[in-house]
Each structure stands twice: as C-alpha cells, then as structure tokens.
Structure 1
Amino acid sequence: MTIMADEKLYLCFDIGGTTVKYGVLSEDRDFLEKGKYQTRKVSKEIFFNDLVKKIVEIQSAYRLEKIGISFPGFINPNSGYAEFAGAIDVLHGSNLLKMLNMEIQLPVIIENDANCATLAEKLSGNATDCSNFVCMTIGTGIGGGLFINNQLVNGHTYKAGEFGLMIINGMDKGYKNMHEIASTSGLIHQYKLLKNIPENHFIEGEQIFDDSIKDKDVKHLLDQWFCNISYGIFNLAATVNPEKILLGGAISIRDDLYTLLEEKLNMIPSWKDIEVPVEPCKHHNDAGMLGILYKCLEEAEDDQ
C-alpha cells in the first residue's frame, strides 16, 4: 500500500492478558502493518520495556501522528491511571500514560478495552448509523460499553459498562452476578458441576450445545443460561432505550444464539414495550485497535 506524504498514521495497541496486538492504521482505517507479541507479566518494568521497544521499532519505519492503547480493567482515560488492570496484575495501580510520556515524544490515547470494542462498532461496524447503542460481550466474563447521544459513556469513576456485576436472579440463591451465571465460563462451570467433571478439565462451549440435544438436564441448564443473558439484555434496554444492542465474544457468531435469545426475551411480559434489535458485533480480533483508532481520530478533530 502506497503511503501519501501527508497521510496521518496511528499506532494502535490492544493489550490482552496473553498477547499484545498492534497495528499501524491510516485515518481511512486501513491496516498498513499488523502483528502481536507475548504479554510478559513478570514485572511492570518488563511489560513497559516491551511496549516501548515495539513503539520505537514502529517509529523507525513510519511517521506517526499518535499512539492509541486499548487497555483492560478500570482505566481513567484522562489521567491514564489504572486502578485495576484486568489479568495484568503487575500494572494494578500504575499510570501507563505517565510512564509513556516520559519515554515517547508522541501523544498517547488510552481507553478501556470493552469501550474500544464498542467504539469499533461505531467506527466501521454494525452501529455506524446509531447515536444510541449498547455493546455487550459474552466470554470469560460479561462486559461492554454504552454509546449514548453520540458519546461513549465512561461513568463518574470510569466503570460504566461493567454489566457483569448486574444481579439478575434476585439473589434467591445468594449473590450471583452475570459474570457467574451468564458468561461462557459460567456456563462451562455449571456444566462441569452437573456432569461431575473436574474443574481443571478442558471443556468447550460447543460441547454443551451438542450435549443439550440429547440430554434434557443439559438442555435445562442451557435454557436457564439463555434466560440469564436475556434478563441482562432486558435491563439494559429498559435503562438506556438504545437503538440496538450488539453482542460480542466468540459465541456471538452463532446464528442460533439470536433465535434462542429472542425466544427468552419474548417470555418477559414487558419486552414488547421496550423491544430493540439484538445483533452480533461485526469486529472481533481487531476491535480493540479499531476502537482506539476512533478515539485518536475523535481527539484529532477536537484539536482542530
């Protein structure tokens, strides 16, 4: 791809617990380069040095406008302080933005990873024409983001979108939030308990769906799981009245997911009063990088 002399380029990172993905993107959202490296969580210094090394390497090949970082956990996008850094525990209580500004002579933008996945849908996904939408991710936990009145909602302490903390069962069996009873990992945990399978034994969600066809107890377990997700969707629709709710995570590509969720949602008496489309996210592996590109471009407009 030919790079125009005046083309603005952005180096975007998606920091995960296993790998750090990175890409050089144009303002037209094209990837000029893409790669990844292992997330080394031995110490804060090692993690930081790996990041700076990659930035310096890319800087030697491209004239960059800004650096964007999609980051896990509770992150203040204004100050850069990470109260909680998800699976990268050596960064709890750190300020990555401040550390980078001491080493890198480029503007750095940082944002929570679930919020970035939400912004990716607004940038070039299934919400480009929406001013109000919700993105909910279903995976190891339940997360997501809120985009309301054409703006990302961060919340007072930058914890908006922590949908996994919602209580949806009335605490009739003790405190169980959506992380525990509506995530994919929660489903797998319940399946192992039902089948007396050791917790350390690897099970894929696909196996549970297949097993539910011939095992009525597994089918009941799966039905309840879908009910739990539908309660979360209903609460979000009732709270913010969005144009649509998008679902992310590996399971979101299953066609039967939406048929089964629609069936459960229609069992809730008031759903017909607040009903909104529930659709899959478009972006998956590149969502973090595309979402932080949105933030970089948004800040570029504000600078003008």
Structure 2
Amino acid sequence: MSYYLVYDIGGTSVKYSLMDEVANVMESSSFHTPEERDGSIFELLIHTTESFQQRYPLSGLALSVPAAVDVMSGYVHYAGQITDFIGKNLKDELEQLGIPIELENDANCAALAEKWKGHAQDCNSFVCVTIGTGIGGAIYLNGDLYRGKKGMAGEVGLMYMNASQPIESTTFSRLGSTWNLLNRVFIKTGERVSGEELFERYYRGDHRIVDEVDKFFDTLAIGAANLIHTLAPEKILFGGGISAQPNFTNHIKERLDHMSPGLLDLTQIDVCKHRNTAGQIGALYHFHKMKKK
C-alpha cells in the first residue's frame, strides 16, 4: 500500500489526512493557520510531515492551497490570506522532506474531487463555484482544468455584477458569498445568526431575512447565467457549507428559468458531493495526474 500526506490549507485552519492511493483516510487532524505570517506555516508543515514520516513510508505530499500557482514549478504567483506563500516556491520550501510534492489551487482541487469521485465524473466540461467567505471558482474544460495565465483563471468571485454601483461593492463575492450575506443580515437586524438559523427564518417568512436571502439567490443565478453564456458547461456545481441547505439548487434554477428557460436545457445546476474533504481528495488526484505526466 502507498501512503500520502494530504493538506488542505485555509486562512484559519490547515486540515490534513493520511490517505492511501484512492483517498481512503487512515488518519486526519488539523491545526490553526499561523496568524503571524512570519514563515512559521512552512515550519508547521515540515514538522507535521516529518512526524508521519517516522511512522509511514510516505510516497508523496499533496497540497490544496488558496493561491494561484504554477503547478509545474510550485511557484505561487498570488495568495489571498496566506501571504507567506506569495512569491515563494512551495516545492523548494519543503524539499528537505525528500519526497515528491505537488500543489494545486484550492478551488481547482474541489473541481478535481468532483471529477474523480463526485458529481462530475461523467462531465467533460463543468464549473465549480465555491461559496464561503468569498466566492471561488474552477473551470474544467474539454477534459482538463483550465488555469489561464499565471493560474488566475476561475476567479469568478471577482466578476462585476452591477456597473452602476462602486465596483468594489458589487463583485460576485461581495453580493453572493455566505459571509457577506450574514453580514448584511447583521447590519439590517443587529443579530448575528448562523447559516442554519438564517434559512429557518427565511422559510418562516421573516421579512427582514427574506429580502436579503432572495437577493443572495438572485446574485447566484445571475453569476450562473453569465458562466453558462460564456462557457456553456455541462454542469455548474455549487459548493460550500451553505449549498447543503434544502432546496438550494431549486432557488437558483427557478430564477434561471425565469431569466431564460433555455439555460437549464444547456447546463445542469447541482451541488458538489464533497465538502470538507474536497480539497484533500482533489489534491491527491492532482498528485496522481502530475506523476503520470
């Protein structure tokens, strides 16, 4: 059996698992992402990996990172919250581990997880839209990921949604992310609510909540329509914790059908199968793909 250590690196936490070659998990844990941004993230990754190397003959290290990366070299062109990664070659930073290392953008890893073991196994072209603090995206076209120049393709959260308003306040992320939705509800009601409570009150008809959630779904539908008109994918898959809400896709499909009934004939709207483990599964799949190359 081959063993792989797989990391899903986020702005607040780093999840990691020991996996076999087909992504069965044998051990898993996490640690807080260092806030200091002083390079200690590399020390933690090295220390954690070395502790596993003492117990298992690791065949490789796979990383899902919130960054635009050159997957061949391991160089990070841009990273959001993990500023330690910007301008660094992660393969070089971790080379002392002495094992093969591969890394990929986190949204791309979510798409690869769906292609390998999720709801896109039968798709040749699809788009993943991940909803959380912001909105991320990954584009899978003609049988492979489309990364674009410097790995910047798929940054759908930066799409502008309303030219008549200030640009920075009308991006897809600002209008369609979970964090911004909950923040707008807080500004309107003075209450901090969870996603679960938000939807409970939405379905009860709380008028202060209904307007904001309706605008949220309007935004997701408009973003989906733009992606369909641009790429005509077989599927658009929505991920993130909020996508687990009942009737989530129905709200988007109803709006798309109202905009243009033909859109749903062209592209299927669905949710991602994998949520918390998507980054790790996709990172391992990317590792295998790179080794074959």
Distance in 2 (CA, whole Å) between partners of 1:47 and 1:223 is: 40
Conservation of the 8 A alpha-carbon contact between 1:110 and 1:292 = yes
Q: Which residue of 2 aligns with 1:134?
A: 127
State the AA in 1 paired with 2:268. Answer: P
Conservation of the 8 A alpha-carbon contact between 1:238 and 1:274 = no
Q: CA RMSD in A?
A: 1.8
The within-5 A match list for 1:216-255 is: 216-255=207-246
Conservation of the 8 A alpha-carbon contact between 2:135 and 2:172 = yes
Conservation of the 8 A alpha-carbon contact between 2:182 and 2:192 = no
State the AA in 1 paired with 2:280. Answer: M
Distance in 2 (CA, whole Å) between partners of 1:226 and 1:45 is: 39
Q: Which residue of 2 aligns with 1:38?
A: 32
Query: 1:242: how far off?
Result: 1.3
Task: In structure 1, list runs of 5 or more residues that go unmatched.
Answer: 1-6
Structure 2 residue 158 is the aligned partner of structure 1 residue 168 = no
Label 1:113 to 1:272 Cα distance change in 2 as closer, same or farther (>3 A).
closer
Conservation of the 8 A alpha-carbon contact between 2:228 and 2:263 = no
Q: Deviations over 1:184-233 (max 9, x none)?
A: 112122223333x2xxx633233333333333353232222211100111
Structure 2 residue 92 is the aligned partner of structure 1 residue 98 = yes
Q: Which residue of 1 aligns with 2:118?
A: 125
Conservation of the 8 A alpha-carbon contact between 1:116 and 1:287 = yes
| Number of aligned residues | 290
Q: Which residue of 2 aligns with 1:207?
A: 197
Classify the secondary structure of the residue corresponding to 2:188.
helix
Conservation of the 8 A alpha-carbon contact between 1:13 and 1:68 = yes
Bigger shift: residues 90-99 or 237-246: 90-99
Q: Which residue of 1 aligns with 2:100?
A: 107
Structure 2 residue 4 is the aligned partner of structure 1 residue 10 = yes
Taking structure 2 as the reference length, what is the TM-score of the superposition? Answer: 0.92
* Identity rate, percent: 34
Taking structure 1 as the reference length, what is the TM-score of the superposition? Answer: 0.89
Structure 2 residue 173 is the aligned partner of structure 1 residue 159 = no
Classify the secondary structure of the residue corresponding to 1:55.
helix
Distance in 2 (CA, whole Å) between partners of 1:43 and 1:141 is: 21
State the AA in 2 paired with 1:21. Answer: K
Conservation of the 8 A alpha-carbon contact between 1:70 and 1:289 = yes
State the AA in 2 paired with 1:209. Answer: F
Label 1:94 to 1:203 Cα distance change in 2 as closer, same or farther (>3 A).
farther
Conservation of the 8 A alpha-carbon contact between 2:157 and 2:172 = yes
Q: Which residue of 1 aligns with 2:247?
A: 256
Q: Which residue of 2 aligns with 1:78?
A: 72
**Deviation beyond 6 Å, 4+ runs, structure 1:** none
Task: In structure 2, list runs of 5 or more residues that go unmatched.
Answer: none
Distance in 2 (CA, whole Å) between partners of 1:74 and 1:30 is: 27
Label 1:165 to 1:32 Cα distance change in 2 as closer, same or farther (>3 A).
same
Bigger shift: residues 138-147 or 27-36: 27-36
